[in-house]
Amino acid sequence: MKCTTTLRPGPMRRAGCRFAIAIAWLLLVVSTTCASTGEVQPIALSAPSGLDSASSLPASQNHFDVGATFYVEIWAQTTHSNGLSSVSLDLTYEANLANAMTITHSSLFSALTNGSIDNGAGIINDLSGSHLGPCTDAVGVAPAWARMAVIKMTAISRGFLVLASAPTGSPIYGTSICGIGDIDPAQIAFGEYTLALGNVPAMSEWGLTIFALALTVAGSVLLRIRCVGTRKITLFT
């Protein structure tokens, strides 16, 4: 932002320029520090995709019958060129709509595996897996994706099921960059997916897209507010 004048600026004009510069710097810091370096996304399929890596995220299905078995796959990526060495998350779901049955980790994240199913609470706690190969493997470097685990689930009642990923909150299980270390959970975009179970008012593909877009916009606004608040403290102390 350019602040110039042919006259000697008074105190108010100087203050206005300083304020404009401070805001510009604040927005620059926010856009830099709040950009995600990692992303985790669940998808749902009638059968496992059979892929542990993909150039783009596999398309998810949006409806299953009550009583049907379906598979939730956890995919992740990073913008760092070293790739991912571990992926960790909690996965929540409506306990009255679906039950998780088994967890199978992919070949890419087959070391130091973990995951505890609690159908009563509707959560899989500390779902995690690690890749112990060299950083030259560049696992899950964007735009590519890497599959961490497959969860077998059963639909037990009709309704809209929200599969939501979130940080574990555990000091043991985190998401890491190969050769670098853990990523701050605030720098990871934890995604969610909504699907219909049974005979419920159908959401079209466009409806699901608009709903997902609304959630994304709302999440982005909240993240921006959170980041701006944090950076204000940093900027003026």
**CATH code of the domain containing 201:** 2.60.40.680
Tell me how far apart the alpha carbons of residues 194 and 61 are, in angstroms, rounded to a whole number.
10
170 in any annotated domain: yes
**Interacting residues of 61 by C-beta distance below 8 A, sequence separation 6+:** 44, 45, 46, 70, 195
Tell me the average pLDDT across 221-227. Answer: 46
167 in any annotated domain: yes
237 in any annotated domain: no
pLDDT exceeds cutoff 60 at 133 = yes
Q: Give the per-residue pLDDT at 216.
A: 61
Tell me how far apart the alpha carbons of residues 111 and 34 are, in angstroms, rounded to a whole number.
30
186 in any annotated domain: yes
Token pair 């008074």 is at which residue?
10
Tell me the average pLDDT across 50-70. Answer: 96
Name which of 30, 76, 25 is nearest 53 in CA terms: 76
pLDDT confidence of 202, banded at 50, 70, 90?
low
pLDDT exceeds cutoff 80 at 215 = no
Q: Give the per-residue pLDDT at 30.
A: 37
Structural tokens at position 217: 């916009």
Determine which helix (DSSP H) or strand (DSSP E) holds 40, and give its type and residue range. strand 38-45
pLDDT exceeds cutoff 50 at 31 = no
pLDDT exceeds cutoff 80 at 96 = yes
27 in any annotated domain: no
Tell me how far apart the alpha carbons of residues 43 and 53 are, in angstroms, rounded to a whole number.
14
Tell me the average pLDDT across 140-149. Answer: 98
Higher local confidence (pLDDT), 220 or 169: 169
Tell me how far apart the alpha carbons of residues 213 and 59 are, in angstroms, rounded to a whole number.
16
60 in any annotated domain: yes
CA distances (Å), origin 136, targets 82, 100, 131, 179, 195 = 7, 34, 12, 10, 37
233 in any annotated domain: no
Expressed as residue numbers, the domain containing 51 is 36-207
Tell me the average pLDDT across 25-45. Answer: 65
Tell me the average pLDDT across 62-77. Answer: 98
pTM, to two decimals: 0.72
Higher local confidence (pLDDT), 5 or 132: 132
Tell me the average pLDDT across 191-219. Answer: 71
The percent of residues in the chain predicted with pLDDT above 90, rounded, is 66
Domains of the chain: total:
1
Contact (Cβ atoms closer than 8 angstroms) between residue 48 and residue 78: no
1 in any annotated domain: no
Contact (Cβ atoms closer than 8 angstroms) between residue 67 and residue 155: yes
